[in-house]
Structure 1
Amino acid sequence: MTEPENRCRLVLIVADIADADEQAKIVADALKGGDVASVIVPQYGLDDGTFQKHAEKLVPLIQDAGAAALIAGDSRVAGRAKADGLHLSGNAEALSEAIDKHAPKLIVGGGNAADRHHALEIGEVRPDYIFFGKLDGDIKPEAHPKNLALGEWWASMIEIPCIVMGGTDPASALAVAETGAEFVAMRLAVFAEPARAPAIVAEINALLDEKAPRFED
């Protein structure tokens, strides 16, 4: 598997599947489709104990596929499941506290960057990445125009990598790549039809290989 370091890479957001074994199988299959930089595991409506069980099944298989496993929200679950990092959707203050506590042992990123002002506040605490959009914000085929605009603005001037939430159409990954963002996050685009997930991961990678702009060294 070639390593596409010089273009936008795919980040998967695990879909909301109540059965932990089924969820793990679908994610493992998707990861067979090709390059995935990291996988974010949201808690959705699960109680902490159940989320812990899901995380403990998912983290090793994500890591075995060569991707970073990021747990959304709960540092205790991230620690117990031996995840690579923590994805937070709070404000700059919450991120700053988590960075002080967990970096550099864990990747710490995210942020609730709904506009430029909040994005810059988040940037000041130096997270490992900033996330534009919501983890379940893929409600239309295309990526949200506001997130694309924020990603383009950020990528043009700030070195901290950004992840931009894509839409439900796998082709929306290209619009994100064209902003200069380092990563595109996909959820329903990949997991809406679980049987097709590996093929869709392969398709997104092929699209980015062919058409995504290349980063300068």
Structure 2
Amino acid sequence: MTDKAQIFLIAPPVTDAAAALDLLGPVCATGDVAAILLSFASTDEREQIRQLKIIAPELQKSGAAVLVAATSSVAARGGADGVHVSVRNSTRDLQEPAAVVNEFVDALKPERIVGVGGLRNRHEAMTIGEGDVDYLLFGEPYPDGELPDFDATLERVSWWAEIFAVPCVGFVPDLDSVADIAATGAEFVGLGDAVWTNADGPVAAIAKARAIIDKTPLASEANAQENDAR
């Protein structure tokens, strides 16, 4: 649990490095993006590495940690700060997700971040959380772009943030839901289409999200104040 959440941003899939920088650069330049997760339209690792080498240094200048939904080799050779492993999207060892995650941990830690999402239940979250991972992400979009039920995501984030030491990210479907995750004490609020489809633009969306987080009291603090007032 933390005092105020930071912003964890999921970028649209990268198709062209220059175009990606045009979109992502101004958003990260705000200084309000703690981490940004990249994925790639190309399945060719050499192309992914080439694009990452162009994108990562520019975003890192703004203080954002650059994570990739890619192999450990792409992350290391492309200069990313770490990888994001989706248990749900993995095509290997679905019955033993911890084994898949541990391969990334062994390959990249401690030099790089290893985060995990696509967690299907509490047991899976606890099992993965017992390993040497840096964060868990709850509520991320499915491969088809659909989102899990937000009430279920909020419940899972609230449970995790209250009990466990491993940082967590709670993904929100829209800016109106930012306060709900911020109040849980989660270390990160996850944003995606809520930023990229915002009518006022991505930079304005980040500013609004940051303002909401900053003014939202933790639920534990609000409850304590309510009890004191009785």
Structure 2: any 5+ residue segments left out of the alignment? 88-96, 222-230
User: Is 1:213 matched with 2:218?
Assistant: yes
Between Structure 1 and Structure 2, how many residues are aligned? 210
Cross-structure match for 1:14: 11
Cross-structure match for 2:204: 199
**Could you say what secondary structure the match of 2:80 adopts?**
coil
Change (3 A) 1:214 1:78: farther
Cross-structure match for 2:32: 35
Alignment of 1:10-159 (within 5 A): 10-44=7-41, 46-90=43-87, 91-135=97-141, 139=146, 144-159=150-165
Say if 1:95 and 1:111, in contact at 8 Å, map to a contact too.
Answer: no
RMSD: 2.4
State how far apart, in whole Å, the 2-side matches of 1:79 and 1:37 are: 20
Q: TM-score, normalised to structure 2's length?
A: 0.82
Larger Rg: 2
Cross-structure match for 1:172: 177
Letter in 1 for 2:171: M
Say if 2:117 and 2:140, in contact at 8 Å, map to a contact too.
Answer: no
Structure 1: any 5+ residue segments left out of the alignment? none
Give how far 1:149 is off.
Answer: 1.0
**148-157 or 41-50: bigger deviation:** 41-50
Change (3 A) 1:80 1:152: same
Q: TM-score, normalised to structure 1's length?
A: 0.86
Change (3 A) 1:23 1:193: farther
Change (3 A) 1:170 1:143: farther
Letter in 1 for 2:207: A
Letter in 1 for 2:45: D
State how far apart, in whole Å, the 2-side matches of 1:59 and 1:9 are: 19
Say if 2:183 and 2:219, in contact at 8 Å, map to a contact too.
Answer: no
State how far apart, in whole Å, the 2-side matches of 1:172 and 1:44 are: 28
**68-77 or 171-180: bigger deviation:** 171-180
State how far apart, in whole Å, the 2-side matches of 1:164 and 1:178 are: 11
